[in-house]
């Protein structure tokens, strides 16, 4: 059964940039061809100061406690985003193995130990749930990594993502993975987000729904917020069967405490671009990595604003880059199909 590492996108972007615009950051995807699922790695082989903020009520994560400002280790060498629910956490083991082979990691005298936190999203309803990212997938994603602008849409951790499931998967749409960056005074903040939200994706610039729950005939968008407020009842949803996960990176020099605060502020971007967000059925988790390659910093107020902006743009790009899929009887159209 074939497995492929997705190639990096070769096209130029239309002004939104990518997380790889941050010096010291590389990204690689692995996409499983047997069903829509996969994983994405964000690497900083030289190490990056890191933080995390988990906002969803049903997260699936690895080594997030390590990133608490109270705890010892303050640098990571990679972060893994994966499909496959909790099984997908195994992909991080493959990333650890690949990074060790490159000589990257925390010097613990006896060896160099790569520090690789991660988070997963639930994509098990799209195809055969027995197929999910494993250690080999994480390793292949690392092998495919580069500083080129990463592919978006139905690749890596976004391969099996869906959005707008609040009225049932049959009325949902295809989600995906997207990336964006913002630069101010020579300092860059970039984001990569795998959007598998329970709610709708909203364009913050216009307030319009880009992708989400569809009408009963499947030909239009409901606008979940307005539907709920006028009394349309959501279908019961199993906790943890959604989740938006992502990584925000900056070349500014930041501390571990600041990295955690940036992760918190980056969630403002999710709140602008997803509605509802941070629900009992989502495990929304955002990581931050700081490479310190820039000469200065515009300060936390500006960095936080940049982080939220890059995150919101990445969410919208994830929905717009997605392409519709048919898996068995399930049809998930994409934003481009309803446009």
Q: For 89-147, what is each residue's pLDDT tens digit?
A: 999 999 999 999 999 999 999 999 999 999 999 999 999 999 999 999 999 999 999 99
Within 8 A by CB and 6+ apart from 112, the residues are 100, 103, 104, 105, 106
Q: How many CB atoms lie within 10 A of CB 239?
A: 14
* pLDDT confidence bin for 333, thresholds 50/70/90: very high
Instruction: Tell me the CATH number for domain 3-338.
Output: 3.60.70.12
Query: Minimal CA–CA distance to 74: which of 260, 322, 332, 281?
Result: 260
Q: What pTM, to 2 d.p., does this model score?
A: 0.94
Q: Give the per-residue pLDDT at 11.
A: 37
Q: What is the pLDDT of residue 13?
A: 44
User: What are the residue ranges spanned by the domains of the chain?
Assistant: 3-338
- Diameter of the chain by CA atoms? 62
């Amino acid at each position: 059964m074939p497995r492929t590492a997705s190639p990096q996108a070769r096209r130029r972007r239309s002004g939104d940039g990518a997380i790889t615009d941050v010096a010291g950051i590389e990204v690689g995807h692995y996409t499983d061809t047997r069903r829509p699922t996969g994983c994405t790695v964000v690497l900083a082989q030289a190490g990056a100061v890191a933080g995390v903020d988990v906002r969803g009520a049903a997260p699936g994560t690895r080594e997030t406690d390590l990133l608490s400002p109270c705890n010892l280790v303050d640098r990571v060498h990679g972060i893994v985003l994966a499909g496959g629910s909790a099984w997908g956490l195994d992909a991080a083991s493959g990333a650890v193995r690949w990074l060790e082979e490159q000589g990257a990691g925390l010097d613990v005298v006896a060896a160099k130990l790569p520090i690789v936190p991660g988070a997963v999203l639930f994509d098990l309803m799209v195809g055969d749930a027995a197929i999910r990212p494993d250690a080999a997938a994480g390793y292949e994603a690392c092998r495919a990594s580069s500083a080129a602008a990463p592919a978006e849409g139905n690749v890596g951790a976004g391969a099996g993502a869906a959005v707008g499931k609040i009225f049932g998967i049959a009325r949902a749409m295809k989600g995906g993975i997207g990336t964006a960056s913002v630069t101010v005074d020579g300092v860059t903040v970039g984001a990569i987000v795998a959007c598998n939200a329970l709610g709708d994706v909203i364009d913050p610039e216009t307030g319009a729904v880009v992708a989400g729950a569809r009408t009963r005939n499947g030909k239009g968008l409901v606008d979940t917020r307005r539907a709920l407020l006028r009394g349309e009842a959501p279908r019961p949803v199993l906790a943890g069967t959604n989740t938006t996960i992502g990584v925000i990176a900056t070349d500014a020099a930041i501390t571990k405490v600041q990295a955690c605060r940036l992760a918190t502020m980056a969630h403002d971007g999710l709140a602008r671009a997803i509605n509802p967000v941070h629900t009992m059925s989502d495990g929304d988790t955002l990581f931050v990595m700081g490479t310190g390659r820039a000469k200065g910093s515009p300060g936390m107020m500006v960095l936080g604003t940049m982080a939220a902006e890059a995150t919101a743009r990445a969410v919208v790009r994830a929905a717009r880059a997605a392409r519709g899929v048919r898996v068995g009887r399930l049809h998930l159209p994409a934003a481009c199909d309803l446009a």
